[in-house]
Structure 1
């Protein structure tokens, strides 16, 4: 038996356990879909290692026949974002700058943990160069697309970034889940743009060893998958926690106390996002969720606090040795953002660290009594690829807009889940359920309850 795009991991695990399918059959179905899209799955992948995937699938099937199941992920095909080391492969991070780099000698820790759990990596997924964009446009490997096309124009729309290929791989059934990273929304934006679920854990929850950095302060590692239980299953593997059962116990929605942010993150919503946002809030209220509108003045100060930002400063530190001889090999849109960090002083960086600590303390004081807080993941529906590729100014403005909301969670050292809140055949819109740092397990239970309400509508 094959699997449909966006099949829950719990269902795949049950089918494997019952003998209704095999790991090899799941891998072959994924490879067939990659081939059907052409160009490495319609630019979803930068490389696919079909033979290695088949071999690992066969090994998992043999273990299962012998009565050994490593975890609920055992035998499940997954995709790996191009910034993670995979033994024997080059880590290019969506760029051409590192074409000549030596292959990695070992897997990144996140990849190694997935393998130990029995997951089967299919290949490396496309991404914004060096993870430095929320749109997923890539001039070297092509631009992955959302499964949604506006019926009025039929134009291809971005999958979102930076984990663009990860989202497209799951949305098109080319993988059951996608391993990605999130520095300012790179899991949640593509999840929102592709009608999927994305979980950004607290940054320190999953080891980043072997993952090419964007911001060593803000980088976090998680998954894009069909639902909250799927993201939670992958998260427990990545965090080194036991995964005893494929399910996720959730709270009931009635009685949950959620803050609804009313400033900064709600500005500039287009009509479709605004309608979906209000509709989702109405459904939650009718389900007994206690929604409290909350204005957080600290959010309005974020643009001035981040006049440099951690990502440009820390990315410049990473890339400064490559820029003198290879600047012409960078995507100019990415290079411009890296160059922002070149002019920052040590004093600016220390000021930024202090401002973040103060803002995080204010957020804790304002939000500590709530079970979580809500915001639109992105204030717009997926924009057209062609216009972004053709106009640098339009790209820069749109990129800033899509990063605005999710990046607040990273800056405040929190965790968040983006849930789809529109029907699968309509323009995709994400609703973010957010929590304070370190409260990941609680957040996932809350998100499970909210997901049930949104899906029941």
Structure 2
């Protein structure tokens, strides 16, 4: 699709997820992404536009004077920026509901369902065929969750692999640029552009894949678990070596996350907690999460998690070895929009569950790729992960799993 065609498609689609640029932006005509249209989550600075993070908190922010470094690298590689996408307010939700700035949905079985967040608009733009890839962010799962719920590829790189300058922060300890794309080829190409690395060379040795033990997966809804086991069986039948293994670092990270103040809560409250004194600036979901963070911080802290992360990451590396982890991306299916829009309790419960699988891997700084495996009424996917810094291993193994 050319940039002109992308703009025509975008103008025919609802404006709940994409704000078009006044004119398509192209810095370079040539490059590995020459002429490919893309969109960016409204957490990235784009010269001449105001970065809203989909919140009235930034209503008085002036237009950006320059592009975020990630945007600059992608446009310098020839891609054409056509617009900015909506998101969960302040990137602080895994569901993508935002009454003030737009909530993208997909209709399934006669009901509208959320597409996931916080990079909801980026996933919606790719899912609608407006662009083949979009930049999002991923702190707790913000690119992976919507990718899983829309049948797309979603990639969270190791922390620091991509430049974050010019990206509004939520929790800097865990924030990364995230990718959502309709093909593995675009994930690979954009990864090389953003990380400034050459294409891999040499043959790809077939790895061993590890599936977590059943107790770790027990929180998944039955339908999710059934689809995951079906995918594992299919991959085994295709000749891939897959073993089940108890990985203590996964259990330990999840346990700490359940018992203590979350790092994202602590850092989001430090950044935005003061706006609780100006409640009209915050949407209801963001306000509730910040109020919860304030309450939890009065009784505890995230210090235990900060202190445990380095040793847990080393332990994860020892336990996984040269294998790669296969797990479900999300333990629940996408909720119906009406259910989470009208019931704060349902919203918050589903939001917490949506983040469970991805959040643990963020703590371990595990580069993780969501790979779509089925496009039925409810998309199926697996999450492929490795140890921090082993991004190339994830992407090369994904080639083997997808047979491309």
Tell me the TM-score normalised to structure 1 length: 0.83
1:48 corresponding residue in structure 2: 20
Say whether the 8 Å CA contact 1:110–1:207 is kept in structure 2. yes
1:11 corresponding residue in structure 2: none
The 10-residue stretch of structure 1 (102-111 or 255-264) with the greater mean CA deviation from structure 2: 255-264
2:305 corresponding residue in structure 1: 352
Say whether the 8 Å CA contact 1:262–1:295 is kept in structure 2. yes
Which of the numbers 56, 60, 72 marks the counterpart of 1:96? 56
1:106-143 alpha-carbon deviations (Å, 9 max, x no partner):
11110111111111111110100011111101111221
Say whether the 8 Å CA contact 2:273–2:290 is kept in structure 1. no
CA-atom RMSD in angstroms: 2.2
Going from structure 1 to structure 2, the CA distance change for 1:287 and 1:358 (only over 3 Å counts) comes to same
Q: Following superposition of structure 1 onto structure 2, how do residues 13-28 of structure 1 map, counting pairs within 5 Å? A: 26-28=2-4
Query: d(CA) in 1 for partners of 2:185 and 2:315?
Result: 31
Going from structure 1 to structure 2, the CA distance change for 1:141 and 1:378 (only over 3 Å counts) comes to same
1:190-228 alpha-carbon deviations (Å, 9 max, x no partner):
111111001110011011111011110101113100122
Q: Following superposition of structure 1 onto structure 2, how do residues 366-405 of structure 1 map, counting pairs within 5 Å? A: 366-370=319-323, 372-405=324-357
Q: Following superposition of structure 1 onto structure 2, how do residues 98-113 of structure 1 map, counting pairs within 5 Å? A: 98-113=58-73
1:157 corresponding residue in structure 2: 113
2:168 corresponding residue in structure 1: 212
2:189 corresponding residue in structure 1: 233
2:371 corresponding residue in structure 1: 419
Tell me the TM-score normalised to structure 2 length: 0.93
1:362 is displaced (CA, Å) by 2.1
1:248 is displaced (CA, Å) by 9.3
2:266 corresponding residue in structure 1: 313
1:260 corresponding residue in structure 2: 211
Q: Following superposition of structure 1 onto structure 2, how do residues 274-353 of structure 1 map, counting pairs within 5 Å? A: 274-306=225-257, 307-324=260-277, 326-342=278-294, 344=297, 348-353=301-306
The 10-residue stretch of structure 1 (424-433 or 108-117) with the greater mean CA deviation from structure 2: 424-433
Query: d(CA) in 1 for partners of 2:334 and 2:386?
Result: 25
Query: d(CA) in 2 for partners of 1:299 and 1:367?
Result: 11
- Unpaired segments ≥5 residues, structure 1: 4-25, 64-68
1:238 is displaced (CA, Å) by 1.1
1:339-373 alpha-carbon deviations (Å, 9 max, x no partner):
34435379834322112223222212211141x10
Q: In the comparison of the two structures, how many residue pairs are matched?
A: 401
1:105 is displaced (CA, Å) by 0.9
State whether structure 2 residue 170 is matched by structure 1 residue 199.
Answer: no
Say whether the 8 Å CA contact 1:232–1:248 is kept in structure 2. no
Higher strand share: 2
1:443 is displaced (CA, Å) by 1.1
1:435 corresponding residue in structure 2: 386
- Unpaired segments ≥5 residues, structure 2: none
Q: Secondary structure at the match of 2:383?
A: strand
Say whether the 8 Å CA contact 1:134–1:402 is kept in structure 2. yes
Q: Secondary structure at the match of 1:181?
A: strand
Q: Following superposition of structure 1 onto structure 2, how do residues 73-84 of structure 1 map, counting pairs within 5 Å? A: 73-84=33-44
